[in-house]
Amino acid sequence: AQKVTQAQTEISVVEKEDVTLDCVYETRDTTYYLFWYKQPPSGELVFLIRRNSFDEQNEISGRYSWNFQKSTSSFNFTITASQVVDSAVYFCALSETGNTPLVFGKGTRLSVIA
Amino acid sequence: GAVVSQHPSRVICKSGTSVKIECRSLDFQATTMFWYRQFPKQSLMLMATSNEGSKATYEQGVEKDKFLINHASLTLSTLTVTSAHPEDSSFYICSARAASYNSPLHFGNGTRLTVT
Could you read off the pLDDT of B7-41 as tens digits, one per residue?
A: 999 999 999 999 999 999 998 888 889 999 999 98
The yes-or-no verdict on residue B2 having pLDDT over 70 is no
From B49, B109, B112, residue closest to A101, measured CB to CB: B49
> What pLDDT was estimated at residue B28?
87
Partner-chain contact B95 A102, CB within 8 Å: yes
Distance from CA of B44 to the nearest CA of A (A): 6
> What pLDDT was estimated at residue A1?
81
Distance set, CA B112 to CA A6, A38, B10, B30, B82 (Å): 25, 18, 5, 23, 16
B97 versus B86: the higher-pLDDT residue is B86
Burial of A112 (0-12, 13-18, 19+ CB in 10 A): buried
pLDDT tens digits, one per residue of A64-82: 999 999 999 999 999 999 9
| Range A90-114 average pLDDT | 92
Q: Which residues of A touch B32 (CB under 8 A)?
A: 99
pLDDT tens digits, one per residue of B48-61: 999 888 889 999 99
A87 versus B103: the higher-pLDDT residue is A87
Which residues of B lie inside 8 Å of A (Cβ-Cβ)?
A: 31-32, 34, 41-46, 49, 91, 93, 95, 97, 101-102, 104-105, 107, 109-110, 112
What's chain B's average pLDDT? 92
pLDDT tens digits, one per residue of A19-36: 999 999 999 998 999 999
